[in-house]
Amino acid sequence: MVLIIRERDMAIYHLEAKVVSRGAGRSAVAASAYLSCSRLYNDYDGIQHDYTRKQGLVWQEVLLPEYAPQEWQDREKLWNAVEEVETAKDSRLAREFVVALPIELSREQQIELLQDFIREQFVSDGMCADAAIHDTDGHNPHAHILLTVRPLDEQGHWQYKTEKEYLCMRNGEEKGFTAAEFKVAQAEGWEKQYPYKVGKKKVYMTPSAAEAQGLIRADKHPKSTRYGRQNPISERWNSEEQLLVWRAAWADATNHHLERYGHDERIDHRSNAARGLDEQPTIHEGVTARALERKGIIADRCEINRQIKADNALLRELKAEIKKLAALVARTVPVIAEAMENLRANMIVFRYQLRHIGRGRQRMIDYIHAVQPKLVRYTELVQEIRGKSKERKSLLAEKKETPFYLIPKQHELSRRIAELTEELEELKSEKDMLLHSLECSDDAGIAAVKKDIPTMEATLKKLSQQEEKYTAELNDALQQYAELKSQSAEFDSDELQDARLALRPAMERSAVDCVQSAYGNKYDPLMMYDSKRDVANLLHEEAEGCSIRERLRQKQQQKTKQKQDKKKSRDSWER
């Protein structure tokens, strides 16, 4: 399993789809008032929803298709029109999306992204959209998009969501027709079916068949499908396939705007399984790490311990090599050159290990700093949800016991219940986004996150000890290098440098092989390049190179001057 540590404040994919249903105790007017932090009056139940004290609103707008009445730019008129046309006690009033906005984009760019997405995916398809951006603490920008679910015709009138569909018979075949379709089908011999009394039972049959048997019709309601014929547009909007299209479209729109404004981050709406990845979509291995290992899956928790053991083995090998070199040093140019280059190669390995440890420590520190406030907020959300749910349940019970003729009290209870319902929806959405950012699929994953923190803190201590150890070894190697350099002062510096440069490629290859063997597929060529540069800076090789080049230039000048002097002397003798 790959340990994925999310960097602080980076783009994540989150799109949550919900339905605002009267049957669930919600209203479209209340949902709109909540997302826009405004005061709206609901004509359907006579309740005024006031969310003007709510914090966190940074932008809001109503977007309409071209043939919608312009008076609907006023969200109170728009959603009261929805409440009026939906008459059933369990009507679906609106569709709501909650999407996480990429923090890489500026506020203006986030608004542009949201407007483009809404216009292309919803408004162009005939929906009215009421949208707002909320960001209470500056680190959780997200948008609420409230959409109409009933299509409009070109005159701006509501279309039907479902239409009565009569089940008709002809020659033993049953088929469904709407009222308009039946006018044509009746001429073709199709008949509606009505209930007739057959003994103590009611049986549906056509009037012609019932008349032949002398049966009496039980009632006037013809047989029909249970839910009627759904409007093709509504049917498409309500389909699972369309939801997948919208999910993909949000990812595409977000990535397009990230690319447009020069950001490398990307989001993906697909699950790990859909992307062909074997990793679990979570960082939280905890006690399952060993079980994964037994199944042949590498768990990073175990990998850290293995890496420390490999580092220790590599360290022992390098220390033994240094002692061996110190014992073999003789006062000759080839031997001193080889010893200095060996020490230099070991320093490259030490620097690589220090960089590797430093990067791992920083990633863990960043993760802990990012996760801890989220865990605190999660606990607060759970407590708030529990408290408001309890209060709502109590109010529902009180409303049920309140006589219907106490209208003011009934309205006040309904208003408070509606407010609590919207607040709970917002809190649950925030909690879902928080779980998503922590790579948890549900609440059960939070326990694993909490266990991760002390485990990572313990790992950080181990890494700090390793860092101290390698720093000490690097300093020891630098001291031995300085001693060798002091011993080499009596030799010709150019000759020593030539001998060292001849050995250096092989020595560097040996260092790279050593690191690759210890780190396996975790080896990073770029980190090795940086490690070589670090050692070059520690040994002041650039300054030494300049000094050597200066000496070579002076020697060349001396040789040139000697040649010129000889030529002058020869010319003088010839004369």
Q: Which amino acid is at 439?
A: E
The CATH code belonging to domain 301-539 is 1.10.287
Q: Distance between CA 315 and CA 470 in Å, rounded?
A: 8
Using DSSP, state whether 194 is helix, strand or coil. Answer: strand
Q: Supply the pTM of this predicted model.
A: 0.62
Q: What are phi and psi of 53, to 5 degrees?
A: -90, -5
**Residue 306 pLDDT > 70:** no
Asked whether the beta carbons of 1 and 280 are under 8 A apart, the reply is yes
From the centroid of its chain, how far is CA 183?
A: 54
Task: Give tens-digit pLDDT for 365-417.
Answer: 888 888 888 888 899 999 999 999 999 999 999 988 999 888 889 889 988 99
Quick: pLDDT tens for 93-142.
Answer: 999 999 999 999 999 999 999 999 999 999 999 999 999 999 987 778 99
Contacts of 289 (CB under 8 A, 6+ apart): 1, 299, 300, 301, 302
pLDDT for 147 beyond 90: yes
Q: Which pLDDT score is estimated for 189?
A: 93
Contact 268, 275 (CB under 8 A): yes
Q: If you ran DSSP here, which 8-state letter would residue 26 be given?
A: -
Question: First vs last Cα of the chain: how many Å apart?
Answer: 90
Q: What is the pLDDT of residue 453?
A: 84
CATH classification for the domain delimited by 15-157+233-260, as one of 3.30.565.10, 2.60.40.3680, 3.30.930.30, 3.30.200.20:
3.30.930.30
* Domain range summary for the chain, segments of one domain joined by +: 15-157+233-260, 162-230, 301-539
For tokens 């990535």, what's the residue?
255
pLDDT of residue 324: 58
pLDDT over threshold 70, residue 25: yes
